Amino acid sequence: MKAIGSVPLLIFAAVVTGCAVTGPITPLESSQSGFDGAVYAGQTTVINAKTQTSEQYRVFNQAATGFVPNSANIADAESRAKTYCNDKGKQLRVLSLTTSPAALLPGNFPRAELVFECVNGVTQETKYDQLLKLKSLLDNNAISEAEFADEKRKILNSE
């Protein structure tokens, strides 16, 4: 193969693989959101209120391509946050989730950012946990879009 033929392949590989971001877990007050300055602003869902005594943290993920489902970014961020809290001997409590718009637009790679805290003791199932289960039911065609929307509204409006 000629050397010139491999150049487009290398450029394609760099473009496809060069955009993934797995940010470190950082204290919320001393870090900047991965959505700050982004072309497409994220959509934030508040899951739980902050407890009085815990420090908040942030973890950000961005897929390398637009073909990765955002659920994979969310699952990876949640897994990293759980491990972080487990290493402290505590439980994960998700406070908010910010995701990129679902539309496949140029430069809009799937992104997810969790704001969380690590708390003592066993925690009850959070709204976030309930929403993940509900989304899984929708993805597996166990419930319709209308049922999903109705149940989501109930979860988000519950105290």
In tens, the pLDDT along 53-108 reads 779 999 998 887 777 777 888 888 999 999 999 999 999 999 998 888 766 666 67
Highest mean predicted confidence (pLDDT) among 53-57, 83-87, 121-125, 150-154: 83-87
Average pLDDT in the 120-137 region?
76
- pLDDT-derived band at 13 (thresholds 50, 70, 90) equals very low
Report the C-alpha gap between 60 and 80 in whole angstroms.
10
Query: Taken in order 71, 97, 138, 92, is the CA torsion positive or negative?
Result: positive
How many CB atoms within 10 Å of residue 132? Answer: 18
Each residue's pLDDT tens digit, 17-59: 445 677 789 999 988 888 887 777 788 888 888 887 779 999 9
Strands (E), 19-110: 21-22, 26-27, 43-46, 56-62, 91-99
User: Is the pLDDT assigned to residue 130 strictly greater than 80?
Assistant: yes
Tell me, yes or no, if the pTM score tops 0.75.
no
Dihedral (C-alpha) 129, 96, 20, 85: value to the nearest 10 degrees? -70
